[in-house]
Chains A and B, each alone.
Chain A
Amino acid sequence: MSIRPKVLYGEPEELPEERYDVLVIGGGIAGMQASLDLGNMGYKILLVDKEPTIGGHMFKLSKTFPTMDCASCISTPRMAEVSHHPNVKLMTYSEVKEVWKDGEGNFRIRVFEKPRYVDPSTCTGCQECEFACPVIVSNEYDWGLSGRKAAFIPFDTAVPRIAMIDMDNCVFCGQCERACPADSIDFLQRPKWHTIRVKTVILATGFHLFPIEKKLEYGFGKYANVITSMQMERILAPTTSWHAIVRPGDGKEPSNIAYVLCAGSRDRTLGNPYCSQVCCMYSIKQAQLIAGALPLADVTIYYMDIRAYGKRYEEFFQQAKDMGIRFIKGRVAKIEDMDNGDLMVYYEDIENGGRLSKAQHDLVVLSIGLLSNPEIAGIFKNAELKLDMMGWIASPDENVNPVRTSIPGIFAAGTAIGPKDIPDSVVEGSAAAMEAAAYIEKVRAVKPVPAEARSEG
């Protein structure tokens, strides 16, 4: 999703070295939790996120399960708290490119800050540049459901709420510059290289979504009314850019919606044999939200197993059944479109003798799984970050200390370690913060840190 400018003005600027106690990579819910916990303990934190806004995936979601709390109502205040915390410095739209271990309790980091072409100190987030921009491209923050401009603010609740120019799609017309009432547009901005020294690092780099277009039988990308569960999250979210729940194919309110579970999970044909852990429950949550928003709509969930393993998850599942949501045990084999935009779902009906059956729906939601983010291992230049066979960060001590990694002083949290839900990610964020603090104190006790290696303040 990260926007990478191809057109750059001038050479990158090299900035003087800065010192912090902890570097947190990734501003999702786990990274924010770790930053806040450590900041509250008095440590100086640098939180780096490759996206123009912190918040990870959570702020794009509709509600949490099983409590049905508004996801953005929980994550947005947390994002604001991080950005205002006196001990946390935010560096967004920046990528950690290199991590060098220079002895116990000392890491040298190289961070590349991409230019936004907007002055963050004067931009008020008024969106005048966005309204003036003549170019519309697919909005990655809506998973392509709608468009955004080439000059844009990523999200209504973005933190920091600063506009940026997508130079790959800019026609250099200057309309944004003329429209900006604060004179904040700056096409002469250069990228920056930061050198950072820290005592420990927390990796909270999250996950990728399974590219379900690889499952050709399901027709995603080919049939307009086959969407992913993350797209449905955006349709159902209070922060949606759509005005109603409609089909993307023709704007009709759906009345017979199908969910296909394990789309891209537990599927050896796609090289993804594991369970993504959250798909059953977020699908049940979405089905309940649809039942509330569209009371006349039928919702059917096609599943292999329902894995309601967490606290109050089973009750949540039973509640969905009581609300009239239909559960059909059977793997969906293929989906075909019909002339009116409806879809025919072919499935194995396990509870009726395993016969092949088909059913017509007017919208199909593919409950896609989570993939690892193995690129993170490449930033370590003189130490090896070990990953498991599926590319998740491996702990040498998984049962006793799951947030520890193969590199002493480097900790991990959240879905960087493996698929998990929001409460578990928050717990791991706190656990990684505790481990990082203990590591700093242990190094300090064993070998007093020289004055020049201490962070300022």
Chain B
Amino acid sequence: MSTARKRSTIAEFRKATKVKPPENVMRIMREQAQVRGAIVKALASGPKTIPEIAQATGMPVPKVAWYVLTFVKYKTLEPVEQTDEGYWRYKAASGRR
């Protein structure tokens, strides 16, 4: 593994191509940052199920489900326990990335 950083290829790429980030992807990225923040904030008061997170954030349940399952994959969230109704409760992962 090298110790000295090589040149920034992204800077050269941007300079050479003059390409701008796609607006739709920028919009999605900004929205995702908000979703992540809202979910983590909702979980600050304790572990919650997906419908409970949806209720706390005002987001549709399927959308919350998709993000929660993705954030579990990326270790931002972790499952804690299962309720009698078959739902999992989630919390923000310790040492999350």
Check A177–B69 contact: CB distance below 8 A: no
Check B61–A249 contact: CB distance below 8 A: yes
Count residues on chain B whose CB falls below 8 Å from chain A CBs: 43
CA distance A341 to B1 in the complex (A): 51
Contact partner of B69 (CB less than 8 A), chosen from A169, A181, A182, A251, is A251
CA distance A302 to B62 in the complex (A): 26
CA distance A170 to B9 in the complex (A): 14
Q: A147-B70, A170-B21, A249-B65 are in contact. Are A136 and B32 (CB under 8 A)?
A: yes
Of A10, A174, A181, most B-chain CB atoms within 10 Å: A174
Cβ-based interface call for B58 (8 A)? no
Count residues on chain A whose CB falls below 8 Å from chain B CBs: 44
Cβ-based interface call for A134 (8 A)? yes
CA distance A171 to B32 in the complex (A): 14
CA distance A131 to B29 in the complex (A): 14
Check A251–B65 contact: CB distance below 8 A: yes
Cβ-based interface call for A14 (8 A)? no
Cβ-based interface call for A214 (8 A)? no
- Determine the main DSSP class of A at the interface with B: loop
CA distance A242 to B68 in the complex (A): 10
B residues near A187, Cβ cutoff 8 Å? 9-10, 12-13
Q: Ordered nearest first, which 9 A-B pairs have the shortest CB separation?
A: A187-B13, A251-B50, A253-B86, A174-B10, A147-B70, A171-B21, A224-B62, A187-B9, A241-B73
Chain A residues within CB distance 8 Å of chain B: 7, 9-10, 131, 134-137, 145-147, 149-150, 168-174, 177, 181-183, 185-188, 224, 241-244, 246-255, 341
Chain B residues within CB distance 8 Å of chain A: 1-2, 5-6, 8-14, 16-17, 19, 21-22, 25-26, 28-29, 32-33, 49-51, 61-62, 65-70, 72-74, 79, 82, 85-88, 97
Known contacts A131-B97, A187-B13, A250-B51; can you find 5 more A-B pairs with CB under 8 A? A146-B70, A171-B25, A243-B88, A252-B86, A252-B87
21 A–B contact pairs at CB < 8 A? A131-B74, A135-B32, A146-B69, A147-B66, A147-B70, A168-B25, A169-B25, A170-B25, A171-B22, A172-B13, A172-B21, A173-B21, A174-B8, A174-B11, A183-B2, A186-B9, A187-B13, A249-B62, A250-B50, A251-B68, A253-B82
